[in-house]
Structure formats: structure tokens, C-alpha cells
Structure 1
Amino acid sequence: MRKLILSSITVLIITFNSFGQEISPYIKIGESSESIQQVSDKVINTLKENSFEVLGMYNPSNKSTLKVIAFTRTDLKETVVKITDRGALAATFKVGLIQKDGKVVISYTNPDYILRAYLGDNYVTFKSTFEKFSADLKTTFSTLGTSFTPFGGSIKADKLGKYHYKIMMPYFSDPVELNEYTSFEEGLKIIEANLKAKKGQTVEVYKIVYPNEKIAVFGVGLQSKEDGESVFLPKIGEDHLAALPYEIILQGKTATMLHGKYRIALHWPELTMGTFMKIMSTPGDIEDTLEGLCE
């Protein structure tokens, strides 16, 4: 009986610690004295050699000192799409490279953070798959650095699935509708054509299409000098560049995006209200740009 009680207490402690755990949006792998191109090549080769699929890459803000590499893996991609409320947004992870002070800092988006935030209660259902993905990613990146230091603020694990910045601010479940089409195929054709034309000074960074499920996710670089990344990123922190690019998700006949006031706050959880006010127009600017791509 005593063993049973002790065992129950242990389980409760582990469960409590798991829910009460603070999780950060990014993990710093380390630093390199090589050029950003050399580091980029190493990251890409390392991912490919370890069964990850590199989806695309680009320079946020059109700056040669910033680079993002988007990637996925088959097991993750096939699991998250089972979650009908835009689960496919969680299929893509990013490595961020930033060159400063003669070094290239290497970081990546933390799967434990993003998956809990985007998938909510569904995270637990597929937890073993996600934990393996996260562990394999760390093993893969261990050839590039040894720091693996969380950074970028933190949110409690049990709060991520229902996260919002402040009262009256949007949740994950409050997306912005960009357009509705007569069919999935029509929507896909329109968005692809607009991205090919770089409409609104955008660039297609990556694309994932699930033809059977009629779902597509586009990673979109925002390169306008008037209201794009070069305007808002320096104000809120370039160290978080792996938050980019922004996404459009087409599910069935409807194209949506995560609300800027949710997505920006989630990826920059330390933002003060004062800093948020400096980019007051950014959520609307992003919406206008992505809406233009869907028309």
C-alpha cells in the first residue's frame, strides 16, 4: 500500500512539473566563426542526412546577415494534418541564422513550444511522436553546436494551448479569413500564381500541399520596404527570426492566416505593450498583404 501511495505521488509530481514547466519558443544551438553561407550549407546537409526534408530558405528583411531555413519530416507532416483545426501549420520548423559580432548564431523553433501552442489538447494524443521528433532534432543539430539554450521568453506548458497576449486579444482559434473559393483547386491556383508573380513584394519560401486532404500551407516572406519585415523585425527583435516566414493555410475552399496579434505575441512572448504599440499597424499590414495574395 505504501509503495502504491508513493508511486501515485511520484506520478502526480511528474504531471504537475510537466504542466507547470516554462517553455521557450527558441533554442540556441551555438555559434560559428564560419560565414553564414557555410553555416547554412552545413545545416541543410545535416538535415538531409538525418531524414529531414528541407522545404526552402530565404533572407528575412532582404538582409544577407539573416537567414531562415524551413524544414519538416514525414512523420510530423503526416501526424499534424490529422488535427482538423489548421494542424498542418505545425508541420514546418525553422532554423534561424543571424550574423553579428563576427559570429553566426544558430537557433531553431522549439517543437515543444510550437506544437503545444498550435495543436492544443491534441498535443497529448500524439505526444510520443512529437517527443521523438524533438529528441531526434536535438541529436541531429548536436553536430552544429552544444549549447541548446532556450531563449526568447517563456510560457507555461499548460497555458500554451490557450495562449493569448492580453484580455480581448485573439487566440489560435481566431484566424483571419483571407478568401473563400469555389474549390480547393481554384484557391491553390490563385495563391500559387500570385506568389510566382511576387505580388505585394512577397516571396514564396516554402509550400506543403496535402492533395488528398485538400490542404496547402505557404510560407511567405514579406519584403516590402514600406511595411514588411525590414520595418517590424528590428523593432521587436531579429534574434527571433526563426519565427518567419508568415503562413497562409488553405483548407478546402477557405484561405486563412493566424491573427497577427496572436502569432507575433506567441513568437515574441516577452514583448511589452510599449513595444507592441510600435508595430501597431503590422498585424493589419500583414493581413492586407496576404489577402492580396489570395485574390
Structure 2
Amino acid sequence: MKTTALQRAGILIALFFLFSFNAWSAENLKPFMLVASNTTDFNTAVESTKNKLQSGGFDIVGEYSPYAGAEVIVVSSDELKASAAKTKFGGYGAVVRVSVTKDGDKIEVAYSNPVYWADAYRLDNDQADVAAKLITALGDAKPFGSEKGLTAKKLRKYHYMAFMPYFDDPGKLGGADSYADLLAKINSNLEAGKSGIKKVYEVKIPGKDETVIGVAMTKGAAADKSIMGKIDIAGTRHTAHLPYEMLVSGNEAYALSAKFRIALSFPDLSMIGKGSFVEIMDAPPAIKEQLSTLTK
């Protein structure tokens, strides 16, 4: 059967995207994607971004403003949840964080690169399909967040430096007699605003007793505003690092070590100096301590 010119064009376009994403996956990956934005009005950018995400097949599961001039929109989809269900602690990968940030007279629309985070969270696929959907929904985007980036192989066994935690070294926050009891306790404490923590989103992972909960942290060294004000100070903003998350899996609650989670979003961050890890050295223990109170 002969193909028409239109059919041949369609095949060529599909092959182009397939090869593009295969090449992308083979190259060094960066934590975020920056979308081209033509507007200079913050509120317009937020509403436009939300509309595009919903029209593109994503479900908005939560949003919040961690500080003035920043809005984080968290989305999920059937594809993301199905992928998250296939691996241990895969629930962390059930969402994509999308940010709108006002930086001077510029508006930056960005999101967590699903290909990068799929490898960091050791998912069983590279999320290239989700990456393609995001580009279709939001438009052309370029990777940022690290000068050289990291290979998929390095991301799958990532740690910031020697003696620092890996993905499979999560912090245990506490437990209960059952998954249902623990989830109820955490949600009760979130509603009460315990430790100044507020819920941003909650996504149930299908087919298993697992739920990922994103939270806004507002107190002390763990506060979103405090941490980002010290390390997100140069170049395109890493606002889509937020919010922090905890994972209820079975009858235990976990959170990725901040020494791992923050480093993934800021892989080029130096250990000492201005805007370095030393400036937020109190954050990792504070984050774990405050999240642990939600299980009590």
C-alpha cells in the first residue's frame, strides 16, 4: 500500500521526536527545564501556565506561593502514577513541579525535568513520554540547573560527595499500626498546622499502600523561604525545587535526606562560600525533625 505525502510527513515528524528524546536521554541531564515566556505579568503567567497544563492532560494536584514573586504548581497524570507504582519508593516520582517566578522584570516559567528526576528516583523508565507531553503543553524548553549536568548512570547512584546519603538512604520519620492510621495522623497534624507545615498536595500511588505528600515549610532553618533565599541567588531560579515531600509507604513515613534532595536540585552548589551548603547546614536536621512531628 502506498503512503501519501501527508502520511510520510507524519512518520518523519514522529521519528524526529523519537530520535530527539533518545539523544536527550543519552546526554548529560539537568534538573530543570525553562520555558520561553513572553509575558511580563506574573498573575497572567500563572493562569496561562495552569490552563496549558490542564489542556495538555495533566492534573493539578496542588499549588502554593512559597514567597513573594513565586508560585509552584504541582501536577500529576495517570502515566506518572503508573510509573511510580512500579519501583520501591517510586512515589516521589508521581508528580512534576512547575514554577512561575518573577525575577526583576522577567517572568520565568520552569519545571522539574522528568527525565532527570526519573533517574534520580530510580524509576523503571526515563519518563520521555511525560517530557514530550510537557513540551507539547507548555512549549519549547531548555534544560538548566547545572553547568555540565549529570549522566543517567550517575543520577541512578547519585550522592553529593563521599559519605553523603543516596536515594536508598531515606530518613525514617515515624510509623503507626497501619498505613491508614499513619496517613490519618499525618493529615490531622497538617490540618492543625503542626510545626508550621502546610499540605500542598497529596497523591495516592495506585495498587500499593503508598502516598506522596508535598508540604510547605515555614519555620526556622527548614523554611522554604530561608533555604531558597540563601542558595537560589544566581542565574535562572530553581523555584521548582519546591515543595519538599514525604512518603507514606506501608506503615512508615519517610523523607529523602535533605543532603540528597537539595543537592539534586542544586548539583553545582559548592560546599563553602556564599550561597553554599555551609549556609544551610542547619536545614537537613531541621527538615527531618519538623517532618517527624507530623507522625506523632
**TM over 0.5, shorter chain:** yes
Matches within 5 A, 1:175-186: 175-186=170-181
SS of equivalent residue, structure 1 residue 150: strand
Task: Provide, for residues 69-115 of structure 1, a one-character-per-residue CA deviation record: whole Å limited to 9, x for no partner.
Answer: 000111221122121x2001101101111102222111111011000
* 1:71 lines up with 2:75 in the alignment: yes
**1:53: how far off?**
0.4
- 1:138 aligned to 2:139? no
Query: Which residue is 2:108 aligned to?
Result: 105
Q: 2:92 aligns with which of 89, 93, 97?
A: 89
Q: Which stretch shifts more, 155-164 or 232-241? A: 232-241
CA shift, 1:51, in A, is: 1.4
Alpha-carbon deviations, 1:115-174, whole Å to 9, x = none? 01102xx53xx34xx2111111111111xxx4x121110112210000000001000000
Q: Secondary structure at the match of 2:211?
A: strand
Distance change >3 Å, CA 32–CA 285, structure 1 → 2:
farther
1:253 maps to which residue?
251
Q: Within 1, Cα distance between the matches of 2:109 and 2:283?
A: 26
Name the counterpart of 2:12.
Answer: none
* TM-score of the aligned structures, taking structure 1 as reference length: 0.86
Q: 2:242 aligned with 1:236, yes or no?
A: no
Deviation larger for 244-253 or 226-235 = 226-235
Q: Distance in 1 between matches of 2:129 and 2:184?
A: 35
Aligned-pair CA distance for 1:20: 6.0
1:141-220 alignment runs, 5 A limit:
141-142=138-139, 146=140, 148-153=141-146, 154-210=149-205, 212-220=207-215
Q: Is the 8 A contact 2:84 2:93 kept in 1?
A: yes
Aligned length: 268
CA distance in 2: counterparts of 1:259 and 1:42, whole angstroms: 34
How far 1:209 moved relative to its partner? 1.9
SS at match of 1:31: coil
Give the deviation of 1:212 after TM superposition: 4.4
Contact 1:94 1:108 in 2 (8 A): yes
Q: What RMSD over aligned residues (CA atoms) do the two structures have, in Å?
A: 1.9
Q: Residue by residue, what CA displacement relative to the aligned partner does 1:253-283 show, whole Å, maximum 9, x if unpaired? A: 0100001111111111010011111111100
1:265 to 263, 266, 278: 263
CA distance in 2, matches of 1:92, 1:18: 21
User: Alpha carbons of 1:98 and 1:167: their partners in 2 closer, same or farther (altered >3 Å)?
Assistant: same
TM-score of the two chains, using structure 2 as the length reference: 0.86
1:17 Cα deviation (Å)?
7.3
Distance 1:226 1:18 in 2: 37
In 2, the alpha carbon distance for the partners of 1:283 and 1:77 equals 27
Structure 1: 5+ residue stretches without partners:
1-13
Match of 1:54 in 2: 60
CA shift at 1:213, angstroms? 1.1
Residue in 2 that maps onto 1:42: 48
Unaligned runs of 5+ residues in structure 2 are: 1-19
Alignment-derived partner of residue 286 in structure 2: 285
Shift of 1:31: 3.0
Residue identity matched to 2:216: G
Q: State the one-letter code of the partner of 1:87.
A: G
What does residue 7 of structure 2 align with? none
- Alpha-carbon distance, 1:30 to partner: 2.0
Task: Say whether residues 1:114 and 2:123 are aligned partners.
Answer: no
> What amino acid does structure 2 have at the position aligned with 1:90?
G
